[in-house]
Structure 1
């Protein structure tokens, strides 16, 4: 592929690109003054044009390829792949039937609701909010469940959480303690972090998971039940820079090594 991408500060020769770090790119913005329909059309053309070019560079190494990121974001696929690769997963139900939710909850010591996708939610007062994982009371389940697909899981009595950032064969398991509620992302100020070891069996299963979905990078979330690691999800484009030093520097080094290795070996 020949051509270039020009910005106000530089020109990128596409024929010289050997590696691409695809990391939550800024959404495309239309030209000022466009009406809503034209702006939406233009943004989609840019996404499929520029995005399509950047996703089709011959011989380039991707961390991760955007199409693989997209596919790997579906939670049903994540859970099925994790189980096939030997990871333990909680009992899970995806449904829009209230009676199914009630039966599922009746067989569990506790039930957790999780959104299938982190879609921004606008409240009646015009504020945007994020819907987090939270316990549900089966008595509160009503016909509003029929309005969309929902993910429910058996709540487990965890001793801690673990976020494992995996870059190729480099593994960075971080134990997270101090969360007073189910979803630790609600309580960053109270959390503590420390690097721990993951068992060879868990590492092997995570590597198989990434291979099966065509990924180089993955941010795995587990909960610990004594010594058992229970898979919750894997974000193919997950955050890692908020950890205490030196953990982010080590992960950044692994990413840089993976991206530059292709050029060194070519």
Structure 2
């Protein structure tokens, strides 16, 4: 489910969109009265080969870019409540990442992505999504500067996805509080996105203990309470990056033993789930 809205899955060939899995998710959400957030329209990873190998002028790249965004937004209009329009466009030092989109279209691709998405579905809420927003103040301020500049020029940007791939150690709670305060004071809705809390961030051999599970539960409870402290109009939601530890991306991506999610390998609720439920 983490991947089915990404370009490599949804738009695998230049003149072909594969709607099957995404439409099934839409149907499930409609049947169960669930709000659906689309992730992601534009990213530099998980692109199909045809995009990576696309041959054309800047204007042809921009037309392809526009058609990709608007075809997807129009297909899911009224079904997907909100979108991560652009994902992870910044380097850690606050500069724009030199993605294929920036290379072929220019740094204005972010502005164009938001404009095209809004044109296609004026009712959808539009987010910019990135990681280390709490931990990296330089990056956070660069993101805010760009998004505020876009707004000043009439571009619709509703919110910021604050990715929470974190650990029981970092970022510290006061850093998370500062980020939430700054983003909300800049009048952005905040989506706590991609939440998972690593118990083994240094990839060491370790033993899963009750003490570690309790620390994980307390970390999520603290974050939830901090989130509830900002004005409710800025609380868009909290989304976890998976359900069971068995299927966490961390194990495969980093090849390490870890238990970052709400349910264990047998889909039994962990202390972090119980504490989260109590804190909501």
TM-score class normalised by the smaller sequence: 0.3 to 0.5
Structure ranking higher on relative contact order (CA contacts 8 Å, 6+ apart): 1
Between Structure 1 and Structure 2, which shows a larger proportion of strand residues?
Answer: 1
Rg larger in structure: 1
Between Structure 1 and Structure 2, which shows a larger proportion of helix residues?
Answer: 2
TM-score, normalised by the number of residues in structure 2: 0.32
